[in-house]
Amino acid sequence: MLYESLLLLAVVFLAGFPFAGLATDNSGSLARAAFQFYLLLVMASYFCWFWTHGGQTLAMKTWHLRVLGKTGLSPTLPEALLRFVLAIPCVLLGVGILWALFDPDRQFLHDRLAGTRLTTDS
């Protein structure tokens, strides 16, 4: 997760440049909310693109991890989006990580709920 966070930070940093150039006064709550929503869309696009096109982000390739959908192949776009949306509260609150410690298959809570599965790349 740490390595994934570093790569995601670079993506978010680069994606923020267009907003930085357009924003003259970034103290407004509407502009801030729009920027945060934009960054959320960037992050969702990053994860969903990689998960649906091979089941691996760049960090997952390094660690030989892969996300599988219900069919045993790369997740569909709805599965990837659901996994992303469910991962936000599960990871931020730590519930998903704690869940994996007690899950018989060592799966995260957001994977259980989304019907996806994290596996090692063979």
Q: How far apart are the first and last CA of the chain?
A: 20
CA separation for the pair 97, 109 (Å, rounded): 8
Tokens of 116: 């996806």
CA separation for the pair 40, 103 (Å, rounded): 29
Model confidence band, residue 22 (pLDDT cutoffs 50, 70, 90): low
pLDDT at position 35, please? 87
pLDDT digits (tens, 9 = 90+) for 69-90: 999 999 999 999 999 999 999 9
Name the DSSP class of 75: P
pLDDT digits (tens, 9 = 90+) for 60-69: 999 999 999 9
pLDDT digits (tens, 9 = 90+) for 92-109: 999 988 999 999 999 999
Pair 55, 72: CB distance under 8 Å: no
Q: Which domain, by its residues, includes 48? A: 2-120
CA separation for the pair 113, 121 (Å, rounded): 22
Q: Which of 34, 78, 85, 76 is nearest to 55 (CA)?
A: 76
Number of domains in the chain: 1
